[in-house]
A and B are shown apart, each in its own frame.
Chain A
Amino acid sequence: MIAIIDYGAGNIRSVSNALQRMGTDCILTADAEKIRSAEKVIFPGVGEASYAMENLKRKKLDTLIPTLTQPFLGICLGMQLMCKETEEGSTKGLGIFNSEVKKFQVDLKVPHMGWNNHKKCQSKIFNGIDPNHDFYFVHSYYAEPCEHCIATSEYGITFSTAMQKDNFWAVQFHPEKSGKIGEQLLKNFLEL
């Protein structure tokens, strides 16, 4: 069973919808035992960082998540919360990735909204995905590239578009809204 962490962040049903379209069963849950015993865990998120982090703390998920050992995928805000800290609401993150999250200070429109491509390293979750393929992004903050960065994208600056450390994976874009390419990435994750 795939567990999607339900911590009050916006639009998490888009992830369960995507998995259901692919014929994969999943549960939305904030229950520590259900999350710990899941085969894989997805940590989605749309919303504001400090509010989301408070919700994680209230549900004691901030201490649970870093101890998980099954394949884990953070999406968008989920990925940003897995970093050391974020400028959004001056929020301390889960510290899984050694990266800081900053607000875009670029001569371009913010949020970075729409379809963008990436540069990748070899990574299993990008199997069958070409760097010219675009994913759908919506974000005003970005994670700085660090040693855990496995793919980058460009928007005025180079930012971390995917990260990995041990069993923890994360992407800045929304695979659940990125058409067939997004489904391919989710499929790769489910097959890890």
Chain B
Amino acid sequence: MLKKRIIPCLDIKNGRTVKGINFLNIRDAGDPVELAKNYAEQGADELVFLDITATIEKRKTLISLVEKIAAEINIPFTVGGGISSVKQAYDLLHAGADKITINSAAVKNPKLIEELSSRFGNQCVVVAIDTNFIHNDWFVFIHGGKKETIYKTLDWAKEIEKRGGGEILLTTMTQDGTKRGFEIDITKSVSNEVNIPVIASGGAGKLEHFPDVFLNGKADAALAASIFHFNEISIPNLKNYLREQNIPIR
């Protein structure tokens, strides 16, 4: 049986992890490679690295970091942040990323999704959606959630699938950072609407939030950052809890 995936997300700036980490047994808490290895050993199913600098000058730092991560960790990982061309995606995949994730660039130029999936296969094209509830509906936001667009989230999700996106990373801005739990309704709607996997993101704060997003939100995977980084929930504990709830888990 296919398992539900638990995915820690690491924000990277200038080749270092940004958020504070309080893992024990880590020599250098700011080193993404050390942290990634630690998560992999604890049972993370995949990892996501988001480069929040993503300026052209810093690209080379990111490429060499991706090479190091690929050499060290034995689970799949996705890299994103400011990717807007096939060339940029190629460089990251060639450096060893298993998947890349695009966000604003896909909204501005939806053809990019087709270009990437026909070049590299849809399995490595993750399209991220930042969604917020305004005008009594869920709309897509870009530029890190700062700019509203005319796209309704469900329409955009269908468009992503049609154009060859392999996976959707759905972050709900109403929940992100609140630790109140994942937003179930829009996650469920998107997951039911498309026939590609949906990774739910935003709002994880307690163990109970995870079975909720898998069972009620129909998510295929759940992503979280701070609860793992600050060790509020450990991955082994989370997985044991999910097993007790009869959620299929590795």
Question: Which positions in A face B, CB cutoff 8 Å?
Answer: 10-11, 13-14, 17-18, 20-21, 46-48, 108-117, 134, 136-140, 154-155, 174, 176-180, 182-183
Contact = CB atoms under 8 A, between A and B. Distances in A.
A183 B74 contact: yes
Interface residues of B, number: 30
A177 B72 CA distance: 11
Given A10-B93, A114-B5, A115-B2, A180 B166 contact: no
Contacts of A179: 40, 74-75
A10 B4 CA distance: 26
Contacts of B122: 111, 140
Contacts of A116: 1-3
A114 B196 CA distance: 12
Given A10-B120, A47-B121, A114-B197, A182 B74 contact: yes
Please indicate which of the listed interface residues B2, B3, B4, B75 has the most CB atoms of chain A within 10 Å of its own CB: B2
Interface string B81-95: 000000000000110
Contacts, number: 89
Nearest to B4: A114
Please indicate which of the listed interface residues B72, B74, B120, B167 has the most CB atoms of chain A within 10 Å of its own CB: B74
Given A10-B121, A17-B96, A176-B74, 6 more contacts: A11-B124, A113-B166, A114-B2, A116-B2, A177-B75, A182-B74
B223 to A, nearest CB: 14
A155 B250 CA distance: 16
27 contacts: A11-B98, A14-B96, A14-B98, A17-B71, A21-B71, A21-B72, A21-B74, A46-B121, A46-B124, A48-B121, A110-B195, A111-B123, A113-B166, A114-B3, A114-B4, A114-B197, A115-B5, A116-B1, A134-B250, A136-B75, A136-B76, A138-B76, A138-B123, A140-B123, A155-B2, A177-B98, A182-B74
Contacts of A20: 71
Nearest to B221: A114
B70 A14 contact: yes
Nearest to B71: A17
B74 A178 contact: yes
Contacts of B51: none
B220 interface: yes
Interface string B218-246: 00110000000000000000000000000
Nearest to B167: A113
B183 interface: no
B75 A46 contact: no
B130 interface: no
A48 B120 CA distance: 9
Contacts of B72: 21
A71 B117 CA distance: 33
Nearest to B118: A48
A28 to B, nearest CB: 13
Contacts of B76: 136, 138, 174, 177
A113 B123 contact: yes
A117 B248 CA distance: 11
